[in-house]
Each structure stands twice: as C-alpha cells, then as structure tokens.
C-alpha cells in the first residue's frame, strides 16, 4: 500500500493482515515510530521477501468507509504516471487532510452522525425557459458522447446549459453524480447558490456540496464523505475536486476551461481540466468544457475532431455585447491615469444609477518605491522582485515570499525624503477615482461610492460575500479590482468596464501571455450589459474601455470586434510557425538551490544522462536557464525545457529519464528540491 504522508517513498510498502483487503480500502499502518493512514493498493506482482524480513501488520482497517472504487484508483494511477509523481503523493493530494487523522471509531461516528431528514419538494426553477441556442446545445449534449467545448459569448447562458445537462443525468439515474469545476474560490458561492436553488428542493439539503481550499478541514471532510458515499449528487469545486471520489459520476462540467488556475503550480502539478477529460472518458461520463474564450489547446482539439464544438454566440434576452472603445495613451499627457473621456463616461453611469468596473491586475498602491537621487528601489531582500507599496498599511510587502517592512521615511541609501511611488495598483486607482469623482452624485443625491476588490480586501472571513452583496444591491457605483472580479460574476447593474493598463502582458516572454490577456479582457467586457431589461430601462449601451499605447495591436483589434475565432486563428498560425504548443508537447525540469550555479549544475548533469537514452529520439532538450523570477525566499531557481513532437514520445522519454534524475540528485546535494512539470503553463 502507498503511504500518502510519505510520498517520497516511491514504491509500494507491504504489510500483513489476517484477511484479504480489497484494493482501495483505507487503513492505518505503522511507519517508523508513527501510525499513519494508507490505502490498500493492487500490487502488480507479489515479490519474494528478502531473508530475515518480517512484515508488520496493518494497525487498523477503516472498514466503516466503503473502499475507494476501481475508477478512482485508475484516475490516481494515471495522474501519477502522466505527471511523473508517486501514487502516494496523488493520494495525499486527493484525500481530505482530516481523514488522515481519524481512527476507525472516529470515522464511524462521523459516518453515522444523526443527519437532518432529506426533504424533497418540487423543483422551483423548472420553469426557466431556454433560448433556441440553449435548446439546440442541450439536445446535442444529450445525443452525442462528447467531449464538448461549449463556446458561448459572455452572458449567453452557459450556466443554464450546465444546470439542464446535470438535471438530465440525475433524472436518468438515481445513483448518478455530477462534478462541476470552477477556476477560483471566489466564483464558488454564486454558482453554488444557483445549483442549490435548482437541485436542493428536489434532492434534499445534502445533494449539493462544495470542495475547495477555503473550507475548514471538518467541512472538507464532511463534503468529501458525502461525495464518496453517494449522498451528494453534485460536487462543485476548484481544481482539487477533480480528484474527489465520485462512484456515480455521469457528467463533468469545467467552467471557464481556459483559466490557468486549473493547473496546480505546487506539489503534484496536475491539470484539473485535462484530468476531467481523462476521467470522463474512463467513466463514460459526458464532459462539457465551457468558455467564451477557449484555450487554444481546446480550440485546436475541436479543429482536429477530438472535441465537439457547440456555439452559443448570442446573449440571453437579446442583450448586446459591449462596444469596445480604445483610448490611445500616446495622445494623452504622460501622467494620465484616467483619460478625460473615460472619466466622463464613468460619471454619466454614476448619475444614471449604473455601475462601472475598473480593472487593473496589480494590487497595492504602487509596484515599487524609487529614489530619484541615488536610484534606490524597494527591492525584496529575499527575492528577485520589488516590495510593493501598500499605502493603507504603510508597509512594503513582497507578493512572492510575504516579507514586509514599514515604509521608510527617507531613502535608506542617501537620506532623500522625496521617495517616489512608481506605477499604479488598485489601491491607487481607488484613491484617484475617489478624488476625481468626489463631486459626482448618484440619482438619490448621495456622493459616488468607490469600492475595491482584490486579495487584500477579501482575505478576512466573509469579506468576499459582503463585498459581492454590496455590488449586487447597488451600494457600490464604481468597483476597482483585479482579475478576480473579471470573470464569472453576474453584476446586473454593470454597464461599463475599463482596463486602464493592460499593455504589460504584450511584452511578456511567455508565449501564452497574449492568449491570457485576450481572455481576461473578453471576460471583463462580459461583466457589462448582462441584464437586457435593465439596459432597456436605462436607455444605456454597454461599453468596454481600454487605455493602451498600442491601439493598432492585432489583439486589441480582434477584441474590438469580439472576434475570438480570428484571434485564435492568428495565434495558432504563430505557434505553428514557432513550434509551440499545441503543435509540440513540453515538460519542464526545475531545480532549486542556494546558488544559481548549483541549480544549473544539476540540470546540466541531468541533460548529460538524458543524451544516453534511446528514448531521446525526436526529443529536444534546451539548455538550463534561470526562471524569470530567479530568486524567491533566498532560493535560486533554474529550469530546463523539454520538447517532443508527440505526447507519447514525451512520456516515453520522461519515464526512461526519471530513474536517472533520482541518481543525479544524489550526486548534487546542494539542490534543495527538483521537480518535473508536464504540460507547463508558465515558462
């Protein structure tokens, strides 16, 4: 059996028990001086024990818990194999932390705790009328096996398609379960509320549960057990939910499937979207990927016939997509934060009782403090990054290692008292708008209200829900926020969205940066004008404003016409010419050490070993280089890119290389850690 808490143990560990244990049984076993949770696993073959070795017995079988089924075991085994991890590490990631701490008696009490009776009533939302496009899409999902890429414009009603498809699956089979994945926790409450309104009246209060890192350990265990035992018919969660035990899985939904948050960036680096596709195929479940701006990998898969594309180009109730206005900052004064035309447009919205969203994907007041005398900058002492100026706290804070310090009263190097704040953050935009709109009144005669929503304002318990409630009830006139407010939310009074400084992404060395910027801006634009009745009542037109130094850029031109297919066509042509995914397949090998030299020496040695492998044919190994963020928390980081013409060629090479990497690691003790990242999303 694998012991999840000791994932560095790469092979199976053997124990004895007086009765044969089915694979998937959860047990407690001794390991060293401790007793830990493990999962009984089907061994490929029974190896003979070395002379004198005596196996230790299983300490306890948690037989109150049904064994984890064969489909779940296959999912874990595939994830471990594909992402080059041990099975134990994937199990450790998949199971709720609280489960690892329970004895059999404690688990039995939880499973048999008195539950509220399941009261089912008539579905209150059955009367929701589908549009013609939604009807057509739902029919195709019902008639074909999929997987499906639901390409629907923002506000086209993709969520209603999810609800309808899940309802059909649950009605057809009393044991059926559905998995709904969203990219971020802040999208969970709103979507969860819709699913609860639709399904709790019919199936009872335990029918819909959530799984995400924002839950307490007790909540996560409770929800996981409900899914594993079949009590929960629908599990809605972030990427961790893709590894949940769902014995009755019949339909999988991946909302905003393009979002990079579906790729785990620490520990076992799996892609929840890709595992959802594999899991759906293995279980015979329908998989629906939904997005207004699909990932180029998914778009290309449709072109290759591997996914079935379903289009919903129209917004519900004939609501119009926002008109896109490009503001050329080259024609504005150098210090311009908000162009006069944009300020005027926001002012008009406030005076009519409408809401505006200002998007800047950078929190804090300013990215860096700078001394004009000597050139000092607020660099982080532990990272290759600046410490960000947070004016409200009067602190400098590193967003990578969390190191912070008080803002100096003068330059630490030369004593100059005039330290300048360079660049803008959401905190600064909120302050600037409050100043420039201080004389603007709402229809009720009250002054305009400017709010900010980012990781700093939503970290406390209940703060996110409180801020969302204020936006929905109209208490906020202008919302300044990062990308967390740009997608998934349904703000009915929002009629204007503005991106004030999006150009930085165009200069990125990451080839995915244009795709992510286009998706972010399209998603942000989709927050405007979603309520057609409200727009008609106001006599207003939805608008998207973009302040840019490059209004002629092809990305902005495609955005101005809401032309995702044109943008995707141009990007795929560039990637094919450059030999980039999805036309090749990649993996990264990364090493962390106290010095950059030590980190790169390990990678050079690993490359030397790789060149001796027969499986190297067709695989290209790039030279080691530092990461873009070279040093984090006093650890130097380097990486080496591996490319192959096919997924199978890459996997064959990585499996052959893995043992050699472990050997090389033993010879390079200066390396703190190393890892393989298959299908990396950040280069």
**Which tokens sit at 470?**
């204020």
Is residue 401 part of an annotated ligand binding site? yes
Alpha-carbon distance of 344 to 338, in angstroms, equals 10
CB 358 within 8 A of CB 429: yes
CB 255 within 8 A of CB 182: yes
Q: Which residues pair with 16 in a beta bridge?
A: 57
Alpha-carbon distance of 288 to 146, in angstroms, equals 8
Collapsed DSSP state (helix, strand, coil) of residue 390 = strand
CB 549 within 8 A of CB 503: yes
Buried residues in 490-511 as b, exposed as e (16+ CB within 10 A): ebebbbbbbbbbbbebeeeeee
- Supply the angle between the helices 272-283 and 70-82 in degrees, to the nearest 10: 140
Find all residues with CB under 8 Å of 450, minimum gap 6, and list them.
Answer: 430, 433, 434, 437, 476, 477, 478, 480
CB 59 within 8 A of CB 27: yes
**Which tokens sit at 358?**
């200002």
Q: Strands, E, within 212-341: which ranges?
A: 234-237, 249-255, 286-291, 308-312, 323-328
Alpha-carbon distance of 380 to 664, in angstroms, equals 32
Is residue 374 part of an annotated ligand binding site? yes
Is residue 302 part of an annotated ligand binding site? no
Tabulate helix, strand, coil % of the chain (nearest 5).
35, 20, 40
Alpha-carbon distance of 522 to 608, in angstroms, equals 45
* Helices vs. strands in the chain: H and E counts, helices first: 19, 26
Inter-CA distances, 527 with 290, 345, 494, 640, Å: 17, 16, 7, 39
Find all residues with CB under 8 Å of 508, minimum gap 6, and list them.
Answer: none
Please report which helix (H) or strand (E) contains residue 368, including its range.
Answer: strand 368-371
Q: Which of 293, 295, 289, 321 is nearest to 307 (CA)?
A: 289
**Which tokens sit at 304?**
């290759």
Q: Which residues pair with 38 in a beta bridge?
A: 27
- Phi, then psi, of 484 in degrees rounded to 5: -65, -20
CB 557 within 8 A of CB 612: no
Examine residue 634 and say whether the peptide bond preceding it is cis (omega within 30 degrees of 0): no
- CB count in 10 Å sphere of residue 611: 9
Alpha-carbon distance of 27 to 73, in angstroms, equals 15
Alpha-carbon distance of 587 to 496, in angstroms, equals 41
Lookup result for tokens 């940066």: 513
Alpha-carbon distance of 470 to 465, in angstroms, equals 9
Is residue 138 part of an annotated ligand binding site? no
Binding residues: 371, 374, 380, 383, 398, 401, 411, 414
Binding residues for Zn(2+): 371, 374, 380, 383, 398, 401, 411, 414
């Amino acid at each position: 059996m694998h012991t999840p808490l000791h994932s560095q143990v790469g092979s199976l560990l053997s124990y004895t028990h007086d009765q044969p244990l089915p694979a998937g049984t959860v047990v407690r076993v001794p390991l060293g001086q401790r007793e830990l949770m493990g999962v009984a696993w089907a061994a490929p073959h029974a190896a003979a024990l070395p002379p004198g070795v005596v196996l230790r017995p299983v300490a306890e079988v948690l037989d109150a818990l049904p064994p984890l089924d064969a489909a779940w075991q296959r999912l874990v085994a595939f994830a471990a194999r594909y992402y080059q991890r041990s099975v134990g590490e994937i199990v450790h990631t998949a199971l709720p932390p609280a489960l690892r701490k329970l004895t059999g008696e404690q688990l039995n009490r939880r499973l048999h705790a008195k539950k509220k009776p399941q009261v089912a009533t008539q579905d209150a939302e059955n009367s929701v009328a589908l549009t013609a496009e939604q009807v057509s899409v739902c029919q195709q999902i019902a008639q074909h096996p999929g997987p499906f890429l639901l390409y629907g414009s923002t506000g086209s009603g993709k969520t209603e398609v999810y609800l309808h498809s899940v309802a059909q699956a649950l009605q057809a089979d009393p044991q059926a379960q559905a998995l709904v994945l969203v990219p971020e926790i802040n999208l969970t409450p709103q979507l969860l509320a819709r699913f609860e309104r639709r399904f709790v009246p019919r199936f009872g209060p335990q029918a819909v549960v959530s799984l995400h890192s924002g839950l307490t350990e007790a909540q996560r265990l409770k929800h996981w057990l409900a899914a594993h035992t079949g009590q929960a018919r629908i599990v809605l969660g972030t990427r961790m939910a893709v590894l949940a035990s769902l014995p009755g899985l019949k339909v999988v939904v991946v909302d905003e499937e393009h979002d990079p948050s579906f790729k785990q960036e620490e520990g076992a680096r799996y892609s929840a979207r890709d595992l959802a596709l594999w899991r759906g195929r293995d279980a015979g479940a329908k998989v629906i990927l939904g997005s207004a701006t699909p990932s180029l990998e998914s778009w290309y898969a449709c072109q290759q016939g591997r996914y079935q594309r379903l289009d919903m180009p129209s917004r519900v109730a004939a609501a119009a997509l926002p008109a896109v206005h490009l503001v050329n900052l080259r024609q504005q004064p150098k210090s311009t934060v908000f162009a006069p035309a944009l300020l005027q447009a926001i002012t008009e919205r406030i005076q009519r009782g409408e809401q505006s969203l200002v998007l800047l994907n950078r929190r804090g007041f300013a990215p860096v403090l700078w001394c004009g005398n000597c050139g000092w900058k607020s660099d982080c002492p532990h990272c290759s990054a600046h410490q960000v100026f947070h004016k409200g706290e009067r602190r400098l804070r590193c967003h990578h290692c969390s190191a912070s310090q008080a803002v100096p009263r003068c330059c630490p190097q030369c004593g100059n008292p005039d330290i300048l704040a360079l660049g803008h953050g959401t905190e600064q935009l909120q302050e600037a708008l409050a100043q420039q709109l201080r004389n603007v009144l709402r229809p009720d005669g009250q002054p305009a209200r400017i709010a900010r929503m980012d990781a700093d304002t939503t970290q406390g318990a209940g703060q996110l829900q409180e801020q969302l409630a204020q936006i929905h009830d109209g208490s906020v006139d202008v919302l300044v926020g990062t990308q967390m407010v740009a997608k998934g939310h349904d703000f009915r009074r929002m009629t204007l969205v503005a991106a004030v400084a999006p150009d930085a992404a165009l200069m990125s060395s990451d080839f995915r940066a244009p795709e992510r910027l286009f998706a972010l801006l399209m998603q942000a634009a989709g927050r405007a004008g979603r309520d057609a009745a409200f727009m008609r009542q106001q006599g207003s037109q939805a608008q998207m404003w973009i302040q840019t130094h490059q209004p002629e850029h092809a990305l902005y031109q495609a955005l101005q016409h809401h032309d995702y297919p044109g943008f995707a066509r141009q990007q795929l042509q560039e990637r094919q010419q450059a030999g980039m995914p999805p036309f090749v397949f990649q993996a990264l090998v990364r090493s962390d050490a106290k010095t950059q030299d030590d980190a790169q020496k390990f990678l050079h040695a690993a490359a030397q070993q790789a060149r001796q492998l027969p499986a190297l044919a067709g695989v290209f190994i790039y030279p080691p280089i530092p990461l873009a963020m070279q040093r984090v928390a006093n650890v130097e980081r380097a990486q080496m890119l591996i490319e192959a013409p096919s997924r199978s060629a890459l996997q064959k090479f990585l499996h052959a290389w893995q043992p050699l990497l472990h050997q090389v690691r033993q010879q390079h003790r200066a390396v703190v850690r190393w890892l393989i990242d298959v299908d990396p999303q950040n280069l």
